[in-house]
Amino acid sequence: MRLVMMGTGSFAEPTFAALLNSSHEVVGVFTQPDRQSGKERGSTRQAKLGVKEMAQDRSIPVFQPDRVTTPEAIAQLKSLRPDLLVVAAYGQILSNDVLASAAQGGINVHASLLPKYRGAAPINWAIYHGEKHSGVTIIRMSVRLDAGDMLAQESVYVPSDETAGELELRLAPLGAKLAIDVIDRIARGEAIQGVKQDSSQVTKAPKLTKEHGLIDWTRTAEQVCNQVRAMQPWPTAYTFLHREAQVPLRVIIHRAHEFPVRYDSDSPPGKLFTDAQFPESLFVTAGLIDTEERSVVEVAELQPAGKRRMSAADFLRGHPVMPGARMGRA
């Protein structure tokens, strides 16, 4: 089959590599325009331009339109005469005209157990909400966002300490394997019976912004730790350290764990404290788990503004916890 790959970043790379090593012909690649880090990057990481470089190494034509729905971009697609579009974390919504450019339409490699977590950041939001299982779904593409019939799906268990970046590294090759299986079946002319998504189970996974990283310490310790994991490697979870007579200090929280003790509910959320039994540990009170006790977060690694990433022990040597110290909004 003549395939056009449409994808960007680390999640797309294993699928593209699998297509290159398959019996099918990749006749073109559409990927996002070259961008720098920060606000422009959004939830689709393209730090190394891997898909583009992979295509150039094989002398495969690369197209990087700002909008793939323009007449010019659609004309480029049609000129490739594709049988199928293969989409993985492309970062653009495809129109009917785009899908019609390929004889067999398109399939999408989506990093969630659809219909849950439709959108640009499914891995992050699954971890944010504390899901114990995630996975990959291959869908036949439609103009509605991630709403097509499901052609294949596989689930994986999510450990309680796994970050979004780590889970992506596991799901990406799984998506490649499922995609090749579906493409091979289409090429053989098999009538694949897709499964319609249950609309009552749909949840959203919108594109991440830096603001999604701001920690609300009134949430439970488990929820705060899930947020820290979900925001790795971007945009990262952050808070502000408040100390008497000092300007609030922005702090990135890189690693945190729910600590197996409870704290007096009269203490406000966000209060910093240490414990003589754990002299190198930094604790923060979080939200109520019932009417009497607060949950507690143990901050394992953090990064004060302008400083390097460090352990809690190193941080405490330079920033001892003083009475009234707390974490919270600026």
CATH architecture group of domain 210-328: Roll (3.10)
pTM of the model: 0.93
pLDDT recorded at residue 49: 54
- What are the residue ranges of helices labelled H in 161-202? 164-187
pLDDT-derived band at 46 (thresholds 50, 70, 90) equals: very low
pLDDT recorded at residue 38: 41
Domain positions in the chain: 2-201, 210-328
Looking up tokens 């689709």 gives: 44
Flag whether pLDDT at 171 surpasses 50: yes
Closest of 160, 164, 163, 108 to residue 136, by C-alpha: 108
Percent above pLDDT 90 for the chain: 87
Flag whether pLDDT at 48 surpasses 70: no
pLDDT recorded at residue 37: 47
Looking up tokens 């009475």 gives: 323
pLDDT recorded at residue 36: 58
Flag whether pLDDT at 42 surpasses 80: no
Residue type, 326: R
Superfamily of domain 2-201: Formyl transferase, N-terminal domain (3.40.50.170)
Q: Average model confidence (pLDDT) for the chain?
A: 93
- Please indicate whether residue 314 or residue 260 has the higher confidence score (pLDDT): 314
Q: How far is CA 213 from CA 216, 225, 301, in A?
A: 9, 12, 16
Closest of 223, 221, 224, 240 to residue 296, by C-alpha: 221
Question: Burial, 229: exposed, middle or buried (Cβ in 10 Å; 0-12, 13-18, 19+)?
Answer: buried
- Give the Cα separation of 112 and 128 in Å (integer): 13
pLDDT recorded at residue 88: 98
Percent above pLDDT 70 for the chain: 96
Flag whether pLDDT at 47 surpasses 50: no
- Give the Cα separation of 212 and 198 in Å (integer): 28
pLDDT recorded at residue 240: 98
